[in-house]
Amino acid sequence: MHIGTFTERPYAHLQENEIYRNASFFGVSNRHFDPKLGAELYHRYLDQNVAAEALGFDVIMLNEHHANPFTMGAVMDVEAAILAARTNRIKIALMGNPLPIADPLRLAEELAEIDMISRGRLVAGWVRGAGSEQIANNVNPAYNRERFNEAHDFIQQAWTRPGPWRYEGKHYHYRHVNPWARPYQQPVPECWIPGLVSPETVVWAAQHRYPYLALATFLEPTVEMWEMYADAAAKEGYQAGPENFGYLQKIVVAETEEKAQELGRNWLYGGGQPAFARPEWMFPSGYNSKAATARLAKAFTNPDTGDVALAAFTYSENMDIAAAKRSVEASYKGFQDSNQFIIGTPKSVLPKLRHVLEILRPGIFICWHIEGGSLSREDAMTSLRLLGTEVLPEMRKWAKELGLTSPDEVKPGPPPLPANGKRLPVTGNLSRAAQ
């Protein structure tokens, strides 16, 4: 199993009330951004990722969001290039580059450079980009899926087909494709697909034999989607296994339960992940398929849930910030009960981790390392160190015991279906739920 680390790299100096007033991280004015503090934060996050290598992690995962204090990685490839030069062994996984907003030829060049600087440690990853990325980059959301598909296919060609050649597509046109930067990994860099279990993407990943990395999704829909992945894999003629699946898990550890609980609250900073962007920015017009829009129509117009099902709180001109904070605070225990947040000492988190591994059987496991809010550099480093020295060794033993093979151990896609042609299940029994 590959075990990795990840943080959102937030702009952690923003007063929480600014986010609440806006009912969303996306859209808060950048007049609150102090570049001197920003410089310190970039160095803090880079240093932590370099330290992860020495602590025994296999993967540094980065991500990209735009115009948003939730994540400072608006140009993730720059951070990846720096880490490529400052590390020696660890994989650098870009989860992911939002294809529809990119210039695909430039992206092919950038990633080839990173792959060479790291001597083959790049894991490329492709995403459609959150709805807010389409707005912040002014890329037509109605062509999001088309642009994703076309850019993906173009980059594969740019990496593999000797140039120069001309390209005429629907959304992209190049008269001279001949990048003088080719991937170190031949023919193309390793690739995983991160996502929030949208069925269209899950099936697409299976068809391309790309491992699918579920981004801290609830266990039940994750199991459902991974079985759907395995169905699509069987149609392609192969048996999916742990090497096809990755999972991102929020986890924080400290020396004591009390300290861990105190740190864990930082995940609620500004309303937490559900406050990433308001629904109208998460799902701009045309961004979703017709089927997904029909599902949203149900969710949005249900008087019992309304927007609440999809966002931390609903925007209004006269936001009651205290009430919004209370409702966010009230969600803390529930997130722990559902394993969305795993919080404790290195010892007390183990059974919960074991449970997740038994149910999901991932070959890639990324620890979503806490950041943001009032978390100090020291507390963040302690948590990372305890994970590396006390939790990772146990997980490695279990990975062996449970047969959780990484994509380096078993290449995704080759394993054939069983002789009877019926695929095997890829997840554990959710109802067993023994903790």
Partner 1 sequence: MAVADLAAQEKQVQIGGATLKYLEAGNGPPLLVLHGELGFPGWTDFYTQLSKTRRLIVLLHPGFGVSDRIDWIMNIRELACFYARFLQEQKLAPIAVLGFSLGGWIAAEMAVNNSGLFTHMALVGAAGIRPPKGEIRDLFDRPTQHYIENSVFDPVGAPEFSKLYGGVSPEKQYEMWEDARAETARLAWAPYMYNPSLPYLLQGISGLPTLLVWGGEDKVVPASAGEVYANSIRGAKLEMFDKCGHLPEIEKKDELLARLLDFLAAK
Q: Which residues sit at the interface with partner 1, rule CB under 8 A?
A: 135, 138, 140-143, 279-281, 284-286, 288, 293-294, 296-298, 300-301
Q: How far is the CB of 205 from partner 1 (least distance, A)?
A: 25
Nearer to partner 1, 91 or 128 (CB): 128
Q: How far is the CB of 151 from partner 1 (least distance, A)?
A: 17
Q: How far is the CB of 303 from partner 1 (least distance, A)?
A: 9
Q: How far is the CB of 293 from partner 1 (least distance, A)?
A: 5
Ramachandran quadrant class, 309 (left: phi over 0; alpha: psi -120 to 50; beta: rest): alpha
Q: How far is the CB of 298 from partner 1 (least distance, A)?
A: 6
| 3-state SS string for 152-194 | HHHHHHHHHCCCCEEEECCCCEEEEECCCCCCCCCCCCEEEEE
| 3-state SS string for the chain | CEEEEECCCCCCCCCHHHHHHHCCCCCCCHHHCCHHHHHHHHHHHHHHHHHHHHCCCCEEEECCCCCCCCCCCCCHHHHHHHHHHHCCCCEEEECCEEHHHCCHHHHHHHHHHHHHHCCCCEEEEEECCCHHHHHHCCCCHHHHHHHHHHHHHHHHHHHHCCCCEEEECCCCEEEEECCCCCCCCCCCCEEEEEECCCHHHHHHHHHCCCCEEEECCCHHHHHHHHHHHHHHHHHCCECCCHHHEEEEEEEEECCCHHHHHHHHHHHHHHHCHHHCCCHHHHCCCCCCCHHHHHHHHHHHHCCCCHHHHCCCCCCCCCCCHHHHHHHHHHCHHHHHHCCCEEEECHHHHHHHHHHHHHHHCCCEEEEEECCCCCCCHHHHHHHHHHHHHHHHHHHHHHHHHHCCCCCCCCCCCCCECCCCCCCCCCCCCCCCCCC
Q: How far is the CB of 380 from partner 1 (least distance, A)?
A: 35
Nearer to partner 1, 256 or 285 (CB): 285
Q: How far is the CB of 173 from partner 1 (least distance, A)?
A: 14
Nearer to partner 1, 39 or 297 (CB): 297
Q: How far is the CB of 262 from partner 1 (least distance, A)?
A: 37
Tokens read off for 375: 């978390």
Q: Distance between CA atoms of 155 and 179, rounded to whole angstroms?
A: 11
Q: How far is the CB of 224 from partner 1 (least distance, A)?
A: 23
Nearer to partner 1, 143 or 167 (CB): 143
Residue with tokens 């069925």: 199
Nearer to partner 1, 317 or 378 (CB): 317
Nearer to partner 1, 82 or 299 (CB): 299
Nearer to partner 1, 128 or 182 (CB): 128
Q: How far is the CB of 301 from partner 1 (least distance, A)?
A: 4
Nearest CA-CA partner of 87 in 125, 62, 111, 58: 58
Nearer to partner 1, 143 or 398 (CB): 143
Nearer to partner 1, 318 or 376 (CB): 318
Nearer to partner 1, 26 or 45 (CB): 26
Q: How far is the CB of 314 from partner 1 (least distance, A)?
A: 10
Q: Distance between CA atoms of 1 and 243, rounded to whole angstroms?
A: 8
Nearer to partner 1, 140 or 382 (CB): 140
